[in-house]
Amino acid sequence: MINNRELSWLTFNERVLQEAQDKSVPLMQRLRFLGIFSNNQDEFIKVRIANIVRLSQIKGKKIPLFTGNYTAKELLPLINSQVSEGQKKFVQTYTDVLSEMESHGIFVINEKQLNKKQKQFCHEYFTSIVSPLLVPLIIRKSTQMPFLRDNNIYHAVKMSSGSNNADSRYAIIQIPVTSSCPRFVVLPSANNRNEIIFLDDIIRFCLDEIFFMFNYKKISAYTFKLMRDAQLTIDDDISKSLVEKMETGLQNRLHGQPVRLIYDREMPEDLLSMIASKLRLKGRGELDAGGRYHLMRDLMKFPKIRPDLESSSPEPLQHPDIKPFSSILKVIGRKDILLNYPYHTFNHFIDFLREAAIDPKVESIYITLYRTAERSKVINALINAAKNGKTVVVLMELLARFDEEQNVEYSEILQKEGVKVIHGVAGLKVHSKLVLIQRKNKDYVYIGTGNFNETTAQIYGDFGLFTSNPQIAADAVTVFDFLINTHKHFLCKQLMVSPYYMRNQFVTLIKKEIKNAQSGKRAYIFAKLNSLTDEEMIRLLYKASQAGVEIRLIVRGSCCLQPQVKKLSDNIRVISIVDRYLEHARMAIFYNGGDEKVYIMSADWMTRNLDRRVEVGVPVLDKKIKETLKDFFDIQWADNEKARDLTVFGRNEYVPKGENLPCRSQTALYDFYKGMIDTK
């Protein structure tokens, strides 16, 4: 019994929506969770639904099956139905949150609700800020539709001279959301009110100023957004560099096939028909009637006008073994160090690179990069190291979905500064989080579960392990040698590396638990993952359950394994935690006959991670860190505030408190790590 990956992912995003519905969550954070939900749905449509649509159109070939044994044609209506249902819940939740905001004096108003002072403000704001950015496009039945970009919102404008549509004029305006022209504008308001207006409505208010040269009796504007297929296709022209191919591929993605038009349900039928036909969107499944506003991911950037209604995150902690203005390399030379973001500060990692950049004994730095911050301190530290005469080698993975353009740009910047940039192994995406610093007489390694990104490290839960263990360092040298020289065969003594060895190593560990359980010995597997979708791993876990192995899984996103099925998965329980921070860390614990083995890794138990990506996992050898990770898992497993029980597929029921004390694991973990400092 294997659940469908796509339907499972949609139930995960409904857990995000539950956070927006949870009245214990600070009000403005609930609004931001709505933005996260909307952004997730948009990416799902552009990536997963677009892929299923493509596969549903295949003729004359073997029909590919999705998890759960669905064909693309069978799966598509199920997904569309669940997406539509999620959108209805979103609209209702948004309405509820707006109502609660009004009870706190925060009002989102439209152009028809402006007072005299606000009307003047909007005219001035439009003239000085908005108007210079507008490019109105007149559309006619006889002309081709101008190119409309993905990830933008537009007004479809209708100018009517009478009741006959034949006399109407039509236009499209891109709503120009930028850092200097934000989606939400704070209006001058009375002291006891905070009033905000969508940029969309300021443009609606000033339509006459845009189209003053036309004669019409009525003018109206209706928002829509277009979603294009986000597949990135790289051509096979051997005369081009990978960067050149990526740049071409990114341009092609901008012109990807339209897959869905989401429009204001109040849009007149003649206007909708013209836009849909010009975009060649004729099936009703490709047209999605919505509300007045779209691209609601912008809710994540809603103005912070009431700090008392926002979530407050405590300051990240210093690791008790790392002192300010002291050598991190010396500490790592003596003992392994585990960081758990965002509870620990990511500055420790930045300082690790900065120290290496100026240390006279450091000879080289090797690092894999996947997603970095927009103004990256990591990139700056690597450039500084190169300027100080170090050999710096960066494996820059260009195929990081929706971050490809930035990665291409950083590749070019690094190369100009003397950094050697390589782009990995043909046919394999490099998703590992690995750093090797080679210093005279000793090497230092960092293995992580999350990206080298100081921005996301403030909101993503991840692990990072510093070590100078000689065997692990030798393995890191081997991995980078493979990445640089693409040797097909290599062996590691400690590190788990996919796609060649990680799957088999996990399979061996699970089979050992099965053997021990069958012999009447204690056996358990505890794992925390972002996704569990690989069918081979799922079937093996079912076999382990049937043998009597106790299995506890914490899976944030897609989970194709169905727990608590009689005679199949009786001994498997699965929970999912969705809270203030994005649960992104991956770890696995095996009882191993009493000699427990604990791993952290960059890989989920997904086919792509185990078979088609370069991933790195590391065994935790330090006894204290091993105990820390076991305590971490126990704290998360005890969560009865934000954990959902995945026993009933799609239900997303909260784990019952019973007689247990309340436990919100993200709060408890901060206290846990703070206690380590207080007792040091």
Q: Do the beta carbons of residue 424 and residue 451 sit within 8 Å? A: no
Beta bridge partners of 552: 526, 573
Beta bridge partners of 532: 559, 605
Quote the distance between the C-alpha of residue 645 and its chain's center.
Answer: 22
Query: Token pair of 436, please?
Result: 């090797």
**How far, in Å, are 71, 419, 480, 485, 594 from residue 424 at the CA level?**
33, 15, 10, 9, 39
Average pLDDT value for residue range 498-517: 96
Query: Token pair of 617, please?
Result: 């996992």
Neighbours of 176 (CB within 10 A): 18
**Residue 132: what pLDDT?**
95
- pTM attached to this predicted model: 0.90
426-456 per-position pLDDT tens digit: 788 899 999 999 999 899 999 999 999 999 9
Q: Which helix (H) or strand (E) holds 28?
A: helix 27-44
**Residue 251: what pLDDT?**
47
Evaluate if residue 249 carries a pLDDT over 60: no
Longest dimension (CA), the chain: 87
Quote the distance between the C-alpha of residue 204 and its chain's center.
Answer: 33
Neighbours of 120 (CB within 10 A): 12
Give percent above pLDDT 90 in the chain.
72
3-state secondary structure 205-246: HCHHHHCCCCCCCEEEEEEEEEEECCCCCCCCCCCCCHHHHH
**Residue 547: what pLDDT?**
97
DSSP code per residue over 105-168: TEEEE-GGG--HHHHHHHHHHIIIIIGGG---EEE-TTSPPPP--TT-EEEEEEEESSS-GGG-
Half-sphere exposure of 390 (CA within 13 A, CB side): 29
Average pLDDT value for residue range 37-45: 92
Distance, CA of 34 to CA of 429 (rounded, Å)? 31
Evaluate if residue 240 carries a pLDDT over 60: no
Residue among 445, 426, 429, 408 nearest 485 (CA): 426
Query: Token pair of 310, please?
Result: 């926002």
Distance, CA of 32 to CA of 20 (rounded, Å)? 8
The sign of the CA dihedral 525, 526, 528, 532 is positive
Count of H-run helices and E-run strands, the chain: 19, 29
Helix residue ranges per DSSP H, 211-346: 242-254, 269-278, 328-334
Residue 282's pLDDT band, with cuts at 50, 70 and 90, is low
How large is the C-alpha radius of gyration of the chain? Answer: 27
Half-sphere exposure of 190 (CA within 13 A, CB side): 7
Mean pLDDT (the chain) is 90
Residue 57: burial class (beta carbons within 10 Å; 0-12, 13-18, 19+): exposed
Evaluate if residue 248 carries a pLDDT over 90: no
- Spell out the domains of the chain, with CATH numbers in brackets: 1-104 (1.20.58.310), 124-302 (3.30.1840.10), 328-494 (3.30.870.10), 497-678 (3.30.870.10)
Q: Do the beta carbons of residue 555 and residue 534 sit within 8 Å? A: no
**Residue 236: what pLDDT?**
42
**Residue 283: what pLDDT?**
59
Quote the Cα angle for 286-142-165, to 5°: 75
Residue 46's pLDDT band, with cuts at 50, 70 and 90, is confident
373-429 per-position pLDDT tens digit: 888 999 999 999 999 999 999 998 876 555 567 777 888 888 998 999 998 777 888
Residue 160 corresponds to which amino acid?
Answer: S
Evaluate if residue 237 carries a pLDDT over 70: no
Pairing of strands 434-439, 442-448: antiparallel
Average pLDDT value for residue range 143-171: 84
Average pLDDT value for residue range 40-47: 88
Neighbours of 326 (CB within 10 A): 10
Residue 253's pLDDT band, with cuts at 50, 70 and 90, is very low
Q: Specify the DSSP class assigned to residue 283.
A: S
Q: Do the beta carbons of residue 166 and residue 90 sit within 8 Å? A: no
Beta strands in 344-486 (DSSP E): 362-369, 391-396, 420-422, 429-430, 434-439, 442-448, 460-467
580 or 60: which leads in pLDDT: 580
Lowest mean pLDDT among 54-63, 73-82, 634-643: 54-63
Average pLDDT value for residue range 250-255: 46
Give percent above pLDDT 70 in the chain.
93
Distance, CA of 277 to CA of 269 (rounded, Å)? 12
Half-sphere exposure of 276 (CA within 13 A, CB side): 20
Catalytic center residues: 431
Q: Specify the DSSP class assigned to residue 309.
A: G
Distance, CA of 367 to CA of 39 (rounded, Å)? 30
Evaluate if residue 548 carries a pLDDT over 90: yes
Q: Which helix (H) or strand (E) holds 396?
A: strand 391-396
Tokens 């585990």 belong to which residue?
Answer: 338
Residue 230's pLDDT band, with cuts at 50, 70 and 90, is low
**Residue 254: what pLDDT?**
47
Tokens 């002192």 belong to which residue?
Answer: 323
Q: Any idea of the CA torsion for 96, 100, 102, 107, to the nearest 10 degrees?
A: -60
